[in-house]
Amino acid sequence: MIFRGFCALLLSLGIFLGGATTPGWAEEAAVRVYIDIDSPHFQKFPLAVTPFYALAPSPEGVELSRWFSASLTEMLAITNFFQLILPTAFLEDPAQADSTLQGTHLPDWRAIGAEYLVKGGYRVRGQELTAEFRLFDVVRGEVVRDKRYVGTLAERKAMVQKFAGEILFALTGDGGVFDTKIAFVLKSGREGELHTVNFDGSDLARFTQWKTLTLSPRWSPGGRYLTYTSYRDGNPDLYVQGYPGGGTKKIAAFPGLNLAGPWSADGQRMLLTLSRDGNQEIYVMSLEDGRLERLTQNAAIDVSPSWSPDGRSIAFVSNRSGSPQIYVMNREGGEVRRLTYEGGYNTSPSWSPKGDRIAFEARVDGSFQIHTIRVDGSDQMPLTTDGGDHESPSWSPDGRYIAFSTRGGGASRICVMNANGTGKRVLVEAPGCLAPAWSPRLP
């Protein structure tokens, strides 16, 4: 097999599903201006989060009060949007204040440089939890967001995630990726199983239980299915399985490789790499009737297809020039042009949801690094430069972050970084971490 990681390509299912939309945000988003955190001119929002107030006497007391503020602060910090003001700088006397605008002394917050302030309160009755969250514009003296959530104590993190999304949407026009997951492979010996983890590294969970080699998770457009390649029946066949639970169905079992690529944005077609004709070639499958159309017609190996966001173009890998390089063709397989010329081994393209750049693996001085390049082939940019191999880039649905795997120094990890290569975070560190795939916003 010529291309390393080339079997890391299974994308999703959701046959009759389109892209997920966050309820209640679509109309307002139409008039919002996207804020680019990668711009050298971007300035982080100065924001403070106070301990939450007990709206009624509670045995959880101070512990829950501090948990809310600490959890929300941590969640906002990983977005890289905020300059979070330390509690040691707070001037307002909590004994003389509450979580309302009227009970907040705004000059104390302006004096320490806060432009935005989050306050909240909670009430516990048995296992029932009511939580109130408010975002204040300190400069204008107004309430920007005011939300109340009712659930159980076990659901308090979900409440924090929802309000963190409200804050991001209010200030940036996009609700962020708190409601997403990253699927990946944990390989041990000759077995590999799919796992999922949250954007913040929490809730690591095993997804498959086949006790065989299972590879290349990919999500459906609505996030209700995962597809993957598994050797459970001896051949690398393509399966679809409901998420977070549901039945499993084999959807491609041709002799040889059956590797899924991404769905089209309208959810009507899926790209695949098949070796049914004796050579790895790229196909598109109609998800309505299963009809296949071969897109590449070349004696070389053609693999790793990735749709452009508008569905008009497809990036892929081919060795037709003598070494693996990134190419682009139209959705019918025509107008093929070579994209990468720098370096002798470039693979695993992943098209940004914003449509302007393609992330990929580039071999540099014997190791693989994550690069991006403009869709016209200009401005190739390295995002990782440290030792070890950096593999399988996968964009977040908002195009602001990239997940990838690393191997080196006897360890492997699933990591996330900003789209400009800054802000690297480790989500999972365990032997055999491979092939991350970022979900859409989940229902």
Q: Are residues 168 and 187 in the same domain?
A: no
281, 317 Cβ separation under 8 angstroms: no
Residue recorded with tokens 């690591």: 204
Residue 246, Cβ neighbours under 10 Å: how many?
Answer: 12
Q: Are residues 104 and 201 in the same domain?
A: no
The verdict on residue 213 lying in a domain is yes
pLDDT at residue 20 greater than cutoff 60: no
Q: Are residues 241 and 219 in the same domain?
A: yes
Backbone angles phi, psi at 165, to 5 degrees: -65, -40
At 39 the pLDDT is: 62
Distance CA 10, CA 214 (A): 11
At 18 the pLDDT is: 28
Distance CA 298, CA 192 (A): 32
102, 136 Cβ separation under 8 angstroms: no
- Give the C-alpha distances (Å, rounded to integers) separating 290 from 218, 268, 269, 279: 18, 10, 9, 21
Which of 153, 172, 191 finishes a domain?
172
The verdict on residue 407 lying in a domain is yes
The verdict on residue 268 lying in a domain is yes
Q: Are residues 247 and 159 in the same domain?
A: no
Q: Are residues 101 and 187 in the same domain?
A: no
At 41 the pLDDT is: 66
Mean pLDDT of 360-373: 97
**pLDDT band, residue 340 (cuts 50/70/90):** very high
Residue 134 pairs with which residues in a beta bridge?
Answer: 119, 146
pLDDT at residue 82 greater than cutoff 90: yes
The verdict on residue 96 lying in a domain is yes
Residue 189 pairs with which residues in a beta bridge?
Answer: none
pLDDT at residue 16 greater than cutoff 60: no
- Give the C-alpha distances (Å, rounded to integers) separating 100 from 89, 136, 193, 287: 20, 9, 48, 52
Among residues 355, 371, 365, the alpha carbon closest in space to that of 404 is found at 371
pLDDT at residue 15 greater than cutoff 50: no
pLDDT at residue 5 greater than cutoff 80: no
Which of 152, 172, 192 finishes a domain?
172
Q: What is the pLDDT of residues 398-442, one digit of tens each?
A: 999 999 999 998 899 999 999 999 999 999 999 999 999 999 998
Which structural domain, as residue segments, surrounds residue 146?
Answer: 35-172
94, 51 Cβ separation under 8 angstroms: yes
The verdict on residue 275 lying in a domain is yes
The verdict on residue 282 lying in a domain is yes
Q: Are residues 220 and 344 in the same domain?
A: yes
Provide the whole-model pTM. 0.87
Which of these ranges, 50-64, 93-107, 170-184, has the smallest mean pLDDT? 50-64
What contacts 157, CB < 8 A, 6 or more positions away? 71, 202
At 290 the pLDDT is: 85
CATH of the domain at 90: 3.40.50.10070
Mean pLDDT of 381-395: 96
Mean pLDDT of 365-377: 97
Q: Are residues 320 and 225 in the same domain?
A: yes
CATH of the domain at 387: 2.120.10.30
Q: Are residues 188 and 50 in the same domain?
A: no
Question: 223 exposed, middle or buried (CB, 10 Å; 0-12, 13-18, 19+)?
Answer: buried
Q: Are residues 322 and 344 in the same domain?
A: yes
Which of 172, 190, 225 finishes a domain?
172
Q: What is the pLDDT of residues 190-239, one digit of tens each?
A: 999 999 999 999 999 999 999 999 998 999 999 999 999 999 999 999 99
> Residue 39 is which amino acid?
S
DSSP 359-410: EEEEEETTEEEEEEEETTS---EES--SSSEEEEEEE-TTSSEEEEEEEETT
> Residue 430 is which amino acid?
A
Distance CA 392, CA 434 (A): 8
The verdict on residue 207 lying in a domain is yes
Among residues 114, 107, 4, 102, the alpha carbon closest in space to that of 50 is found at 114
The verdict on residue 122 lying in a domain is yes
At 17 the pLDDT is: 26
Q: Are residues 202 and 338 in the same domain?
A: yes
Q: Is 296 helix (H, G, I), strand (E, B) or coil?
A: coil
Q: Are residues 334 and 205 in the same domain?
A: yes
Among residues 14, 2, 155, 133, the alpha carbon closest in space to that of 440 is found at 14
Q: Are residues 144 and 185 in the same domain?
A: no
At 75 the pLDDT is: 95
Q: What is the pLDDT of residues 236-294, one digit of tens each?
A: 999 999 999 889 999 899 999 999 888 888 878 889 999 998 899 999 998 788 899 99
SS (H, E, C) 103-146: CCCHHHHHHCCCCEEEEEEEEEECCEEEEEEEEEECCCCEEEEE
Most confident of 33-37, 93-97, 103-107: 103-107
Round the average pLDDT of the chain to a whole number and report it: 89
pLDDT at residue 4 greater than cutoff 60: no
- Determine the angle formed by the axes of helices 156-172 and 61-77, rounding to 10 degrees: 40
Distance CA 384, CA 293 (A): 37
Among residues 415, 441, 341, the alpha carbon closest in space to that of 78 is found at 415
Q: What is the pLDDT of residues 24-69, one digit of tens each?
A: 333 333 333 345 555 656 789 999 999 999 998 777 666 899 999 9
Q: How many domains does the chain have?
A: 2
Mean pLDDT of 10-16: 28
At 22 the pLDDT is: 33
CA-CA-CA-CA dihedral for 420, 201, 211, 13, to nearest 10: -60
At 60 the pLDDT is: 65
